[in-house]
């Protein structure tokens, strides 16, 4: 998810998206621990998307 797409989302959407992506990340990480993923770069991509959303939430709360 691009930064421009994240900025367009509402606060409620961001919180919902963050919860879903965090769950997906932990599930994917657990699956990778058991059997290696075909594309382990998915983990990096998902982790960075979670960080982008969390950063946007923090930025909005500070304003």
User: Quick one: CATH architecture of 3-62?
Assistant: Orthogonal Bundle (1.10)
Our CA dihedral for 32, 35, 41, 42, rounded to 10 degrees, sits at: -60
DSSP string, the chain: --HHHHHHS-HHHHHHHHHHHHHHHHHHHHHHHHS--S-THHHHHHHHHHHHHHHHHHHHHH-
Per-residue confidence band for 55, with pLDDT thresholds at 50, 70 and 90: very high
Per-residue confidence band for 4, with pLDDT thresholds at 50, 70 and 90: very high
For 18-52, how does the pLDDT look when each residue is reduced to its tens digit (9 = 90+)?
999 999 999 999 999 999 999 999 999 999 999 99
Whether residue 1 is predicted with pLDDT greater than 90 in this model: the reply is: no
């Amino acid at each position: 998810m691009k930064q421009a797409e994240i900025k367009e989302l509402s606060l409620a959407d961001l919180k919902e998206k963050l919860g879903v992506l965090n769950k997906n990340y932990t599930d994917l990480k657990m699956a990778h621990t058991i059997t290696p993923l075909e594309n382990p770069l998915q983990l990096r991509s998902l982790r960075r998307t979670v960080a982008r959303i969390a950063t946007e939430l923090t930025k909005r709360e500070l304003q």
